[in-house]
């Protein structure tokens, strides 16, 4: 079955409201989750809701956090997310950083007691829409090891960069610093497939092709990916007081993440008229796209272009929801009492059950 762009927003918002999230926060989270699904990043879409609810039940995710600014000094700020949703923390920090970047040309916010920030590219698109250049990174539950090591001490530590364009799609890079996410390995395990030797290492730090033995994820590009991940740790945790390494909660035990983020916004209009900057980005995009292609390549894409096109086409076609996910969401909505007759979700849940 399929749901529309509007339906996904209602669905997520309805579930979050029933789970005691304040209205504003439910709306923000719903937008980020929908962006994730509609750009094809299903791992951070609807499929995450059940985990969030389990985290709330375990007391490790706070639906009504006391979000506070704990440091405000010139062009830099620190926020404490009170173990609420990382999406809410980062969205709120974004709003204040945007004002500050307009004031100083560049501004930075870090966050502590944060959690999963959802679909990273969302923040890149949003900055691009606001005419801003954004650099975002965060640490996560620890799924990878230091280079040459065997313990899980470092997260998948994504890096996001967003750049506003004019007529072209904005440039949005959203990449983890590991070759794959844990979800891909779990999928291989479910399907009984071997995994490539550069995806993961076993408990002793040896490369493995057996998904059931996969323990730590392999960083991209060897020591370079490790180096990037270390710097993401530094930027995300040490300026905010967030946790790193063994201090991060354990994913498997649903513990509080206590992770952090770093957001830097740069205002290109301080350097030149925004239109002039955007025209240069457009010129760059055309230069790349119109250049010679390697054999078998039909088109050259810029970072984020594939996801942006997907968003456009999926807003037309709607989102395919698997039977398994539909059943999971129905259970969630019913369990939270969010699907009672007359509620926003009642119709959608009927659709799921049909």
Residues 41-80 that bind its own copies (CB under 8 A): 71, 73-76, 78
Per-residue x/- track, 99-118, its own copies (CB under 8 A): ----xxxxxx-x--------
Among 57, 194, 197, 238, binds its own copies (CB under 8 A): 238
First to last CA, the chain: 9
Q: Which of residues 310-339 bind its own copies (CB under 8 A)?
A: none
* Closest to its own copies by CB, 22 or 245: 245
Alpha-carbon span 38 to 320, nearest angstrom: 10
Coil, helix or strand at residue 248: coil
Minimum distance, C-beta of residue 225 to its own copies, in the bound complex (Å): 7
CB 171 within 8 A of CB 165: yes
Which span (9-17, 34-42, 57-65, 202-210) binds its own copies, by CB under 8 A? 202-210
* Closest to its own copies by CB, 105 or 318: 105
Alpha-carbon span 86 to 88, nearest angstrom: 5
The size of the chain, in residues, is 354
**DSSP-assigned letter for residue 63:** S
* Closest to its own copies by CB, 1 or 221: 221
User: Residue 250 interacts with its own copies (CB under 8 A)?
Assistant: no
User: Residue 184 interacts with its own copies (CB under 8 A)?
Assistant: no
Q: Which of residues 131-160 bind its own copies (CB under 8 A)?
A: 133, 145-151, 153, 159
User: Residue 1 interacts with its own copies (CB under 8 A)?
Assistant: no
Strand-pairing partners, residue 217, are: 144, 200
Coil, helix or strand at residue 266: strand
* Closest to its own copies by CB, 226 or 352: 226
Alpha-carbon span 257 to 86, nearest angstrom: 10
Minimum distance, C-beta of residue 15 to its own copies, in the bound complex (Å): 33
Alpha-carbon span 122 to 105, nearest angstrom: 22
Q: Which of residues 253-272 bind its own copies (CB under 8 A)?
A: 264, 266, 268, 270-272
Half-sphere exposure of 158 (CA within 13 A, CB side): 22
How does DSSP assign 103-143, residue by residue?
HHSEEEEEEEEE-----THHHHHHHHHTT-EEEEEE--S--
Q: How many CB atoms lie within 10 A of CB 342?
A: 6
Among 226, 261, 308, 352, binds its own copies (CB under 8 A): 226
* Closest to its own copies by CB, 75 or 334: 75
Q: Which of residues 2-41 bind its own copies (CB under 8 A)?
A: none
Among 32, 248, 281, 314, binds its own copies (CB under 8 A): 281
Tell me which residue has tokens 């699904």: 37
From 99, 100, 150, 93, select the one nearest 117 (Cα to Cα).
93
Minimum distance, C-beta of residue 220 to its own copies, in the bound complex (Å): 4
Alpha-carbon span 174 to 122, nearest angstrom: 9
Using CB under 8 A as the binding criterion, the count of chain residues that bind its own copies stands at: 76
Which span (49-57, 167-175, 183-191, 342-350) binds its own copies, by CB under 8 A? 167-175
Minimum distance, C-beta of residue 160 to its own copies, in the bound complex (Å): 10
Joined together, the tokens standing for residue 152 give 């899980």
User: Alpha-carbon torsion 263, 264, 269, 270, what sign?
Assistant: positive
User: Residue 201 interacts with its own copies (CB under 8 A)?
Assistant: yes
Q: Which of residues 282-301 bind its own copies (CB under 8 A)?
A: 284, 287-288, 291-295, 297, 299-301
């Amino acid at each position: 079955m399929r749901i529309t762009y509007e339906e996904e927003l209602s669905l997520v918002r309805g579930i979050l409201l029933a789970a005691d999230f304040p209205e504003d926060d439910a709306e923000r989270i719903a937008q980020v989750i929908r962006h994730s699904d509609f750009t094809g990043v299903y791992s951070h879409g609807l499929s995450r809701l059940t985990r969030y609810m389990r985290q709330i039940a375990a007391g490790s995710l706070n639906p009504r956090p006391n979000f506070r600014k704990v440091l405000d000094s010139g062009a830099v700020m620190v926020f404490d997310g009170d173990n609420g949703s990382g999406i809410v923390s980062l969205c709120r920090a974004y709003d204040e950083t945007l004002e500050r970047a307009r004031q100083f040309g560049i501004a930075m916010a870090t966050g502590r007691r944060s959690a999963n920030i959802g679909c990273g590219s969302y923040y890149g698109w949003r900055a691009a829409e606001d005419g801003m250049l954004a650099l975002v990174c965060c640490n996560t539950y620890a799924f990878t090891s230091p280079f040459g090591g065997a313990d899980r001490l470092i997260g998948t530590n994504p890096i996001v960069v967003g750049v506003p364009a004019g007529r072209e799609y904005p440039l949005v890079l959203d990449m983890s610093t590991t070759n794959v996410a844990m979800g891909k390995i779990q999928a291989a395990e479910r399907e009984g497939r071997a995994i490539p030797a550069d995806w993961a290492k076993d408990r002793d730090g040896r490369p493995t092709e057996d998904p059931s033995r996969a323990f730590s994820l392999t960083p991209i590009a060897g020591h370079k990916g490790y180096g990037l991940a270390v710097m993401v740790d530094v930027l995300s945790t040490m300026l905010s007081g967030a946790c790193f390494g063994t201090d991060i909660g354990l994913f498997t035990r649903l513990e509080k993440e206590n992770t952090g983020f770093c957001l830097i916004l740069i205002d290109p209009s301080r350097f030149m008229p925004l239109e002039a900057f955007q025209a240069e980005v457009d010129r760059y995009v055309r230069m790349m796209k119109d250049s010679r292609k390697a054999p078998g390549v039909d088109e050259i894409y810029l970072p984020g272009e594939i996801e942006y096109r997907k968003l456009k086409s999926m807003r037309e076609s709607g989102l395919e929801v698997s039977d398994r996910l539909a059943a999971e969401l129905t259970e969630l909505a019913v369990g939270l009492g969010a699907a009672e007759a007359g509620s926003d979700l009642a119709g959608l849940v009927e659709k799921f059950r049909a």
